Structure 1
Amino acid sequence: MAKRRICFVTGARAEYGLLQWVLHEIKEDPDLELQIIATGMHLSPEFGLTYQAIEEDGFEIDEKVEMLLSSETSTGVAKSMGLGTVGIAEAFDRLAPDVALIPCDRYEALAAAQVALVKRIPIAHVYGGETTEGAIDEAIRHSLTKMALLHYVSAEPHRERVIQLGEEPERVKNFGAPQLDHLNRLDLLDRHAFEDSIGFKLGDPTFLITYHPTTLRETPVEKEVSELLEALDHFSKARLIFTKSNADTGGQTINKMIEDYAEGNPERARVYSSLGQRRYLSASHHVDAVVGNSSSGLIEAPAIPVPTVNIGDRQKGRLRAESVIDCKTDSRSIVDAIEKALSSPFQTTLEGVSSPYGEGNAAPQICEHLKEAEIGDLAKSFYDLPVSDKIYR
């Protein structure tokens, strides 16, 4: 029998890292053929040409689809989606995949999914059912759910939400978050080796900082980042490791502001386009707090565990462990949250913390289901939940 061709479409360093071990499992399975389309930020020098990291991990990229315009406006993002749709349509024609493996909630994924939908290529969606109320990702994620045939969610409440959206329960699998597989598989760097790898000495304390635009809020991104940087000035002895923002509306502004800040504070701050999974998780083990509004602060950080200071509404609605401290975007709130994270009473609570996103063994389960799942009939019935009479009262 012919191998089932699984085509993974990735537009950003982060989402590739989430599914890296799933890709390894697919690649090693004799009954599956892995295909990879790299697009978006992967092909941009501004974001570190991270397609090279995919190749360095031993994968072959079958198609590179240029789509990212040098613009951070909403119009620029929409035009990039159009370019992605054209390029991915041509790539799917050449590759003829049996399944399109599409992760998460970014606009590159939406471009790929709409192509797969009209070309009748079954979609396997990973990380559906989650909520991030402060970003357009929220709507994109749920749209991908309705386009997809197979669903791999990261927690039971997410499975319930996908079913609530009308998806057949037997097609919705909760294997946990595949990014946690890194913690069981990667050989992480010790403190000295990590410092050598980034050319920067850690301090006491050290913060790992990632800040993305809150794309559904009207507060100017310059204001939010200024408040964050003002809060970091309060910790004058802290060493600061910044990773750059995604290519969302406002992302270039964030990156310019943190680059300027690091240039003005060369002894205590560094900015990196991409640390890669191994160095990022190694950093998480050696810093005193993860600061910002990245999902990694809610998923990976509690599994280590390291305190997370989660700023603003971008991650509003996600499941949280006890190690996550939510705060507003003003500098005083951020300072208070960081001080709480560093305090002895809070540090003692970390011993009992665990991630609500699984045990770090999702990759082999996803691979096995991709191999065995029935995908012949793409017509989906809407699964209606039993309705309580109270709704009509």
Structure 2
Amino acid sequence: MVKKKLAFFTGTRAEYGLLRPLMDLALKDSDLQFELYVTGMHLSLEFGHTVDQIKQDRIPITEEIEILLSGDTPTAITKSMGLALIGFGDILKKRKPDMLVILGDRFEAFCVAAAATVAHIPIAHLHGGELTLGAIDDTFRHSITKMSYLHFVATEQYKQRVIQLGEFPDRVFNVGAIGIDNILKLKLLDKNEIQNVISDKIKYPYVVITFHPETIDCQSAEDQIKEILKALDKFNDMFLIFTKANSDAGGRIINTLIEEFVSRNPDRSILFSSLGQLKYLSLIKHSLMVIGNSSSGIIEAPSLNVPTVNIGKRQDGRIKAKSVYDCGLFANDIYKTINNVKEDIKNNRINYENPYYKKDTTITIYDTIKKYLNYNKFIKNFFDLTLKY
């Protein structure tokens, strides 16, 4: 009997960490043939060359596809998308997986989804139905939804939005956020291990800062990060741990300005290109708060009982725990919000209930994928809502 071939796509450090437990299940399953396609920032020295982490984890890589150019302008990203379509067109023709697993909403994921659609390869998509109104990823996410056959969403509201896009309800599964499942299963580092394993420069208390460019905004990425650094510079009572921005348009100038800030403030700040899931989540667990606009501050941080200062519009539209404090992209607003969070921590006023939590997320996703892998036909029709005018 020929084994079904289940392929995974990864283009960033973040989505690899989220998918890792699902990959582990597939690798242990003797009924399936596992494949992994690696691309994007994983293969870039500038963004930490995180393909090395995948190899250290002993996850077998089937294909590596170079697509990133040296620039991060809209033109450069568009050209990278062209390279991705060409590369994945060739890879999917050669490998012929029976199903492809994609998480998220980045341009790399959109390109592999488009190539898979043309090649008649069914897609299992995680984290559809969400909104991030401050980023072009919003458009890519909904487009991937329309190209996918199975949908694993994180909340009931997101499920209804995927159905609203014309997807049949019996193929849309509210399973919760897979990242929370990872938190509950990983043995995170303690405070001493953080200083021994990650860096002995780290001092307590500290905050973790990750800021990606807002790709739908009239304010430049340079102006955005300058406002954040201006606010953070006022705090001498907490150590600043930065992680690099991604390869979106404007990401490089953000990283350059952070590097300059850290070089001027070596005793109270540090910058990491990439940390991996274990180190990153461990840092969040013992931090005073998360600052920036990463989805991890929205989805994972509440389950670690850590508040988030969510800056700007990138995450607008996402469901948020009460432990997430929104603020504008201006230094005074950021400074005031950080102080408000510190005061609420001091007075134990923060509710960390996480709207993204559900039990057994990973195994539910995997069991559902296995069930559908045995199907021979993956015909999609449009599900019409009953409209009242």
TM-score range (shorter-chain normalised) is over 0.9
Q: 1:170 to 1:311 in 2, by over 3 A?
A: same
- How far apart are the structure 2 equivalents of 1:43 and 1:126? 23
Shift in CA distance, 232/360, structure 1 to aligned 2, threshold 3 Å = farther
Question: For residues 348 and 280 of structure 1, what CA distance do their matches in structure 2 show?
Answer: 25
Question: In the aligned structure 2, how far is the partner of 1:357 from the partner of 1:347?
Answer: 25
C-alpha distance in structure 2 between counterparts of 1:332 and 1:154, whole Å: 34
Cα distance in 2 for partners of 1:244, 1:301 equals: 18
Q: d(CA) in 2 for partners of 1:182 and 1:345? A: 25
Give the Å deviation of 1:108: 0.5
Contact map agreement 1:285 1:304 (CA 8 A) in 2 = yes
Q: What is the CA distance between 1:6 and its match in structure 2?
A: 1.1
CA contact (8 A) 2:306 2:352 kept: no
Tell me the residue number matched to 2:33.
33
Contact kept in structure 2, 1:179 and 1:360, CA below 8 Å: no
Bigger drift between 377-386 and 276-285 goes to 377-386
Q: Distance in 2 between matches of 1:368 and 1:76?
A: 39
Give the residue type in structure 2 aligned to 1:272.
F
Is the contact made by 2:208 and 2:287 (CA closer than 8 Å) also made in structure 1?
yes
Q: Is the 8 A contact 2:93 2:119 kept in 1?
A: no
Identical-pair percentage:
44
Q: Residue 303 of structure 1 aligns with which residue?
A: 303
Which 4+ runs in 1 deviate beyond 6 A? none
Cα distance, 1:3 vs structure 2: 2.1
- 8 Å contact from structure 1 (residues 210, 293) kept in 2: yes
Quick check: 2:13–2:50 contact (8 Å CA) kept in 1? yes
TM-score normalised by length of structure 2: 0.97
Contact 1:290–1:307, Cα closer than 8 Å, also in 2: yes
Asked if the contact 1:288/1:306 (under 8 Å) is kept, the reply is yes
Q: After superposition, give the CA deviation of every residue in 1:275-321 in whole Å (9 maximum; x if it has no partner).
A: 11001110011110100000000000011110100000000000100
Amino acid at match of 1:296: S
Matching of residues 46-195 of structure 1 within 5 Å? 46-195=46-195
- Aligned runs of 1:333-344 on 2, under 5 Å? 333-344=333-344
TM-fit CA distance, 1:204: 4.5
**Separation in 2 of the partners of 1:330 and 1:195?**
32
Q: Hey, what does 1:354 align to over in structure 2? A: 353
Equivalents in 1 of 2:345, 2:305: separation in Å?
15
Task: Write out per-residue CA displacement over residues 152-180 of structure 1, whole angstroms, 9 at most, x where no aligned residue.
Answer: 11111111110010100000011111111
Equivalent pair of 1:13/1:50 in contact (CA under 8 Å): yes
SS of residue in 1 equivalent to 2:161? helix
Helix, strand or coil: the match of 1:19?
helix
Unaligned stretches of 5+ in structure 2? none
Taking the aligned partners of 1:339 and 1:273, their CA distance within structure 2 comes to: 28
CA distance 1:106–1:164, change in 2 (3 Å): same
Aligned equivalents of 1:83, 1:203: Cα separation in 2: 43
Amino acid at match of 1:281: L
Unaligned runs of 5+ in 1: none
Determine if contact 1:204/1:237 at 8 Å carries over to the other structure: no
Partner SS, residue 90 of structure 1 = helix
Asked whether the 8 Å contact 2:85–2:112 carries over to 1, the reply is yes
Question: Who is 1:294 aligned against?
Answer: 294
Letter in 1 for 2:195: E
> When the two structures are superposed, what TM-score results if normalisation uses the length of structure 1?
0.96
1:368 corresponds in structure 2 to 367
Q: Which amino acid aligns with 1:371?
A: K
State how far apart, in whole Å, the 2-side matches of 1:345 and 1:289 are. Answer: 9
- Determine if contact 2:153/2:172 at 8 Å carries over to the other structure: yes
Contact 2:21 2:362 in 1 (8 A): yes
Q: Distance in 2 between matches of 1:360 and 1:332?
A: 40
* Whole-angstrom distance in 2 between the partners of 1:222 and 1:204: 29
Q: Verify the 8 A CA contact 1:240 1:269 in the aligned structure 2.
A: yes
Alignment of 1:257-276 (within 5 A): 257-276=257-276
Cα shift at 1:347: 5.3
**CA spacing shift, 1:127–1:348, aligned 2, 3 Å:** same
Are residues 347 and 19 of structure 1, via their aligned partners in 2, closer, same or farther at CA, if it must alter by over 3 Å? farther
Shift of 1:346: 6.7
Bigger shift: residues 176-185 or 127-136: 176-185
Deviations 1:119-148 (CA, angstroms, capped at 9, x unpaired): 101111111000000000000000000001
How far apart are the structure 2 equivalents of 1:81 and 1:62?
21
Alignment-mate amino acid for residue 88 of structure 2: I
User: 1:253 is matched by which residue type in structure 2?
Assistant: I
Aligned-partner Cα distance in 2 for 1:346–1:158? 34
State how far apart, in whole Å, the 2-side matches of 1:347 and 1:259 are.
34
SS in 2 for 1:349: coil
CA distance in 2, matches of 1:31, 1:101: 17
Distance between the aligned counterparts of 2:381 and 2:244, measured in 1? 42
Number of the residue aligned with 1:382: 382
Distance in 1, matches of 2:193 and 2:229, equals 28
Q: How many residues align?
A: 388
**Take 1:239 and 1:359, find their aligned partners in 2: how far apart are those partners?**
33
Aligned equivalents of 1:118 and 1:254: distance in 2? Answer: 36
Q: Which moved more, 1:240-249 or 1:377-386?
A: 377-386
- Give the superposed CA RMSD: 1.3
